[in-house]
Amino acid sequence: MNTKAQTRMERINARVSINDVLSLIGPDRKNICGHSIKMKSVRYRTFAIKGCVCVGCGLEGKYFIIERHPNIIPFHLNLYAIDEFGDEVLMTVDHIVPASKGGRRVVDNLQPMCTICNHEKANKTPKG
């Protein structure tokens, strides 16, 4: 399954291990595969603290890819899992209490989730 995010992104074809990325989290930019990547991210911290497994379906993130939106200068790292068909699935962080319902973008209110489950959950709260 190709995700919309994957098809829109400009990609540097270099896989970066989860451990390598999570060990670089901090306030400074880091040089990764020749690209300056901002490593101060609540998304990266969420993966570091809560893991890289989708809370919805159990799909597990396997590696990061350096990507950017076309025509936007800075690159960033996206985490990908591999589904049962061998296709990449983008891993995201989901707001447990959705932002649309007052949920904040802080690690305590975020959880790892694949894009498929995140889309399905939409803006539902834990109680429905």
The answer to whether the pTM exceeds 0.75 is yes
120 SS3 class: helix
User: Which residues are within 8 A (CB) of 101 and not within 5 positions of it... i.e. 6 or more apart?
Assistant: 123, 125
Question: 62, 47, 59, 28: which is closest to 94 by C-alpha?
Answer: 47
pLDDT along the chain (128 residues), means of 10: 57 92 96 94 97 98 94 91 97 96 96 97 82
Per-domain residue ranges of the chain: 4-121
Number of H-type helices and E-type strands within the chain: 4, 7
Q: How many CB atoms lie within 10 A of CB 53?
A: 18
pLDDT value at residue 7:
52
